[in-house]
Homo-oligomer: A and B are copies of this chain.
Amino acid sequence: MSNVVHNRPVVKPDTRQRVLEAIAKLDYHPSRVAQGLRQQASRAIGFLVLDPNPRWPADPLHAEVLAGMSETATKHDYSLLLDRPPGNGHLTARELLQPFRSGQIDAAIVALAGTSDSHQHALDALNQAGVLFAVLEREIEGECAYSVMGANEDGAYAATQKLLRDGRRQIAFLDSTQMWPAIELRLNGYRRAMREAGLEANILISPSPDWTSAGGAVAMHGLLERCERKGLPYPDAVLAGNDVLAVGAMHVLRERGLHVPGDVAVIGFDDFEFARYVDPPLTTVRLPAYEMGKRAAELLIAHLEGRPTSQRRHILPTELIVRQSG
């Protein structure tokens, strides 16, 4: 019976035929739950989002990653389980491991919020438990740990250099009080480019309260006000932590009568769908989010099927997409 369902060649053709008929007649459906219990494997991978913001799927980047994961999981007949931390977002190791221990998932893709060290204990716990996982946008080491990243630092470096080449000198960076590992890397790239250009003194960072466009507007607002208060000149360029922030920032600039890119150049990050449709079309650093989701899922599934990939650190290239905003 089991041998028939799984197409194993140890059954005589006519026996197989009989069994198949019975299956059809009884409208039999194998229970994946029972299979899971017996085989100690659920054929499901989890998406563990360590972000207290319940609206995280609405972030275009997360959505793209999710789409890539889902596509790949389906292709390999794996299920995808969405898992969020209950409540406040501060996880104990126990909570994190729960879906593994309870047999719900065989592996997980982990998306972090917060600074890169804030969830170190969580990753340590995963490692110590010996479970299989892939972390997005974050270096990680461990027996069964993969990491899938975009070239965030390179991208931010290239974007800053482009602005410098265009003669911009007062280049500001928009980040957020809600930290996020990729942003640290982007900041690093920005800082390095400024330092190498001898403009360390011009480094200027303004935080958004969150990762929405409304937050981006707040950050831009704060930036301009700070300049006014201190009698500093306005920045002549802004590198935004991501496109969503950039959109809000451009809105504020327009409201203030500042021309983009004439007065202030703006470059975003991610190249989300709407980047080319805002006015002016947004120059940005493309991050291959969909591909990252795919890659992470592929690595985990290959590992689960006995084909672990020796390369644990996967960095997908970013690309500067020059449009008209900067």
A residues neighboring B (CB under 8 Å): 29-34, 36-37, 42, 44, 54-60, 63-64, 66-67, 70-71, 73-75, 77, 79-84, 86, 97-99, 101-104, 212-213, 244, 247-248, 250-251, 254, 273-274, 276-279, 290
Q: List the B residue with the shortest CB-CB distance to A251.
A: B277
Q: For A98, what are the chain B residues with a Cβ–Cβ distance below 8 Å?
A: 29
State which of B80, B84, B244, B278 has its C-beta within 8 Å of the C-beta of A81.
Answer: B80
Q: How many copies does the complex hold?
A: 2
- Tell me if A32 and B244 are in contact (CB < 8 A): no
| Interface residue SS majority, chain A | helix
Q: For A29, what are the chain B residues with a Cβ–Cβ distance below 8 Å?
A: 97-98, 101-102
Q: List the B residue with the shortest CB-CB distance to A289.
A: B58
Q: For A59, what are the chain B residues with a Cβ–Cβ distance below 8 Å?
A: 63
Q: For A32, what are the chain B residues with a Cβ–Cβ distance below 8 Å?
A: 102-104
CB distance from A32 to the nearest CB of B (A): 4
Most buried by B among A83, A104, A244, A274: A274
CB distance from A235 to the nearest CB of B (A): 20
Given A70-B54, A98-B29, A103-B32: A81 in contact with B83 (beta carbons within 8 A): no
Instruction: Compute how far the CA of A277 lies from the CA of B251 in the bound complex, rounded to whole angstroms.
Output: 6
Q: For A290, what are the chain B residues with a Cβ–Cβ distance below 8 Å?
A: 55, 58
CB distance from A187 to the nearest CB of B (A): 24
CB distance from A195 to the nearest CB of B (A): 32
State which of B34, B70, B73, B273 has its C-beta within 8 Å of the C-beta of A244.
Answer: B273
- Tell me if B60 and A86 are in contact (CB < 8 A): no
CB distance from A116 to the nearest CB of B (A): 25
CB distance from A42 to the nearest CB of B (A): 6
CB distance from A298 to the nearest CB of B (A): 14
Given A213-B273, A274-B274: A102 in contact with B57 (beta carbons within 8 A): no
CB distance from A109 to the nearest CB of B (A): 12
Given A58-B273, A102-B32, A274-B247: A70 in contact with B42 (beta carbons within 8 A): no
Instruction: Compute how far the CA of A56 lies from the CA of B254 in the bound complex, rounded to whole angstroms.
Output: 32
